[in-house]
Amino acid sequence: MRKLWNLFANKNEAIETTLTVDQIKKEQIPGHIAIIMDGNGRWAKKRSLPRVAGHHEGMKVVRKVTRLANQLGVKTLTLYAFSTENWKRPKPEVEYLMKLPEEFLGTFLPELMEENVRVEMIGDKELLPAHTKKAVEKAMNDTKDNDGLILNFALNYGSRAEILHAVQKVLQDAKKGKIDENNLDEALFSSYLMTKGLPDPDLLIRTSGEIRLSNFMLWQLAYTEFWFTDVLWPDFSEEHFLQAIATYQKRSRRFGGV
């Protein structure tokens, strides 16, 4: 009971542990799900493995979750793959993380094409190593005509940097007369963000027991439903994903109203 109790961010929202895709699809599916994939290093440490082993195992979970999200009819899946702060990690770990997009997209791209998935990215692409940038750009180009699930990687992404850059662009365009600063509202400002064209996330999932946003989509998550779990990302299963959505389906979203 203790294990089940700790699985949920909101302890009063315990639900059945056996769920099926058909059951979940009977209720509203969140259109945009964002995930902070946390706990790879701790997963590896618990097994006396190098941290990179946890990242490699976590990559397998990305494939499983992507397939399931597509099966459920989720429109956008945003995955926090590498933050602007992650450059502070040991060099060998960073180098390995920069190789993962090549490995993941190199092997998974044919299936993404077959499943009509479109790959997108938010973050500063120019600071990525050339081989990482090439792999991401190839996937984006190859899938650009697909109109199914958007698999959106947040890679070298930081929300504060994103917002500051948007503010700078707004000021520049106002000075050039491209926009009237008196007409600046939330919708116009959102069009300057990296997520332009995407709806705000309906559901945020964070694994590993940490309860914070870690500089992730601070503007976009204003009215998102949060679901936290103690499960480490490499142990995150399809069942956990369904549980998160089932919890979301039980909540009442009022967006500040009554």
Cβ-Cβ contacts under 8 Å for 66 (sequence gap 6 or more): 77, 108, 112, 117, 149, 151
Is residue 38 among the annotated active site residues? yes
Cβ-Cβ contacts under 8 Å for 179 (sequence gap 6 or more): 170, 173, 188
The residue ranges of the chain whose pLDDT is under 50 are 1-16
- With CA atoms as reference, report the closest residue to 151 among 210, 111, 193: 111
CATH code at 30-160+200-249: 3.40.1180.10
pTM of the model: 0.91
Give the orientation angle of helix 51-72 with respect to helix 238-249, to 10 degrees: 50
Amino acid 163: pLDDT: 98
Encoded tokens for 41: 């290093």
Q: Which of 22, 86, 116, 182 is catalytic?
A: 86
Domain boundaries, the chain: 30-160+200-249
Cβ-Cβ contacts under 8 Å for 123 (sequence gap 6 or more): 82, 84, 153, 154, 155, 156, 157, 158, 194
Task: Identify whether the C-beta of residue 80 lies closer than 8 Å to the C-beta of residue 37.
Answer: yes
Helix and strand totals (H; E) in the chain: 9, 6
Q: Which of 38, 40, 70, 152 is catalytic?
A: 38
Amino acid 17: pLDDT: 55
Amino acid 257: pLDDT: 63
Encoded tokens for 10: 């909101």
